[in-house]
Structure 1
Amino acid sequence: MSTTQYIAEIGLNHLGSAALAEELIAGLIQTEADGITFQIREDKFYDRSDPWTVPIAVDDHGAFRDAIHAGHKKFGLSVGDVTTAKRAGSLAPDFWKVLSFGLSDYDLLDYVSGLGVPVFVSTGNSDYAEIEDAAKRFPRVNFIHTQLSPVAGDVNLKAIQEMRERTGRDVSFGLHLPDLRVLFMALCFGPEAVFFYVKGDDASKTYPDDAHAAALAVAGPLIRDLRQLETAIGTGEKDRA
């Protein structure tokens, strides 16, 4: 039985297009993902210099939420500042993800941790002193071990267990490495959830989360294989054959 949650992150890979967002949702609800996330950034981010810096209206995100719920998946929002979180609060996500640069924004952590739904805080830019301080101040948040590096030697999967021991919280894993096989290794450290980005199948397009994202056609088989191989971890019990 699977104990790890599998979270497919659309993030900003909709490229400012509601139609592409709907296409990604339609594909992901056919997979065994537990949840699907969208990212909403602070106002200054949306300068229209790239497709993903074109904002999608909050009302459209409401339609995305409804489609995700209709597909029996959880709807998550990723944010990095309290102003954006409050504006998006009307969407009532099933869980929040706080982006790496938001871990030090205690107003943000205070707001989302008071909403009564799970909060996952990415730690990609933080050391243990910052993480432990946040854990002490906000007893209802959990953490995501993420290294914002494309190099396998920087992934440091042992930090999942170390962070769990230091904070007493459940710890998840967020992938920022092009080699998707790292997700299978992460399962051996018992993450609460694994977060990975998903992009469209059109390889001619550039996505903000690109090299480390799974193409939509890959996401379904990937999650299926992760669930199947997670069972190989077992319980640790040893019985006579």
Structure 2
Amino acid sequence: MKTTIIAEIGINHNGSVDIAKRLIESAKKAGADVCKFQTHMPDYQMLRSTKSAEYVKEDIYSLLNSVKLSQKDHVDLKKFCDDMEIEFLSTPFSKEAANLLNDIGVQRFKIGSGELTKYDLLDYVFQLNKPVILSSGMSSFEIVQNSIQYLSKYSNEVSLLHCTSLYPPDANQVNLKMIPKYKKLFP
């Protein structure tokens, strides 16, 4: 089994393709195999009145709207990754985002932990018939277990990503003991 190094770019490009390209170059130089983005289409994934976390000054809708990438941006960044010989990967937060990613030819999808209970989105992504990475991040063990059980009706290749959604986490918060537990329960 080969270890895959995923560079989490997320929304750290601040909506700038130039910054995103610099982050891709840095990830490639550091030896990453994959650059992982987030594909947000706020109008399809939330209400304008959705509240933000306390540490975020603006509302989450405005924040995500300010950092979202257009379809053209996605096409450009996917091509840039292809040219750099690094995989472009992104997390869709709506069916429309999944369509955009599928249309540009991503090899697989990554589902964020906050979406593990959004069965309509999971069904939609899995019906696109590509490999999927599921993140455990903010989810309880029970949610992860229920999601994997729910998705067992599909034949997609599924990878489970143990993630700690604390930035930065203390060493005692990463709970690496979950990895062998996941490996045993979800072979």
TM-score between both structures, scaled by the size of structure 2: 0.78
Question: Within 5 Å, which residues of 2 pair with 1:105-184?
Answer: 105-139=118-152, 140=156, 141-149=158-166, 150-168=169-187
1:62-87 Cα distance to aligned partner (Å, 9 max, x none): 11001111111111011233342234
Residue number in structure 1 paired with 2:99? 86
Aligned residues: CA RMSD: 2.3
The 1:131/1:49 distance shift into structure 2, 3 A limit, reads closer
Matches of 1:23 and 1:119, distance apart in 2: 26
Query: Which amino acid in structure 1 is aligned with residue 78 of structure 2?
Result: R
Post-superposition shift, 1:157? 0.1
The 1:81/1:161 distance shift into structure 2, 3 A limit, reads farther
Residue number in structure 1 paired with 2:117? 104
Query: Which amino acid in structure 2 is aligned with residue 93 of structure 1?
Result: V
Higher Cα Rg: structure 1 or 2? 1
User: Do the aligned residues in 2 keep the contact of 1:47 with 1:54 (CA within 8 Å)?
Assistant: no
Post-superposition shift, 1:41? 2.0
Matches of 2:81 and 2:96, distance apart in 1: 25
Matches of 2:20 and 2:81, distance apart in 1: 11
Aligned partner of residue 23 in structure 2, secondary structure: helix
User: Do the aligned residues in 1 keep the contact of 2:5 with 2:34 (CA within 8 Å)?
Assistant: yes
Residue number in structure 1 paired with 2:79? 66
Aligned partner of residue 138 in structure 2, secondary structure: coil
Question: Within 5 Å, which residues of 2 pair with 1:189-204?
Answer: none
Mark the runs of 5 or more structure 1 residues left unpaired by the alignment.
169-241
More displaced 10-residue stretch of structure 1: 90-99 or 156-165: 90-99
The 1:129/1:147 distance shift into structure 2, 3 A limit, reads same
The 1:82/1:164 distance shift into structure 2, 3 A limit, reads farther
Residue number in structure 2 paired with 1:17? 16
Residues paired across the two proteins, number? 166
Post-superposition shift, 1:147? 2.2
Percent identical: 28
Mark the runs of 5 or more structure 2 residues left unpaired by the alignment.
47-59
Query: Which amino acid in structure 2 is aligned with residue 109 of structure 1?
Result: L
Residue number in structure 1 paired with 2:5? 6
1:188-233 Cα distance to aligned partner (Å, 9 max, x none): xxxxxxxxxxxxxxxxxxxxxxxxxxxxxxxxxxxxxxxxxxxxxx
Aligned partner of residue 35 in structure 2, secondary structure: strand
User: Do the aligned residues in 2 keep the contact of 1:22 with 1:64 (CA within 8 Å)?
Assistant: yes
Aligned partner of residue 115 in structure 1, secondary structure: coil
1:70-117 Cα distance to aligned partner (Å, 9 max, x none): 111111011233342234331221221111110111122222223333
Residue number in structure 2 paired with 1:232? none
The 1:159/1:117 distance shift into structure 2, 3 A limit, reads same
1:1-36 Cα distance to aligned partner (Å, 9 max, x none): x82111112110101111111222233333421111
User: Do the aligned residues in 2 keep the contact of 1:81 with 1:105 (CA within 8 Å)?
Assistant: no
1:108-128 Cα distance to aligned partner (Å, 9 max, x none): 222222333321111122222
Post-superposition shift, 1:49? 4.4
Post-superposition shift, 1:42? 3.8
Residue number in structure 1 paired with 2:69? 56
User: Do the aligned residues in 1 keep the contact of 2:13 with 2:67 (CA within 8 Å)?
Assistant: no
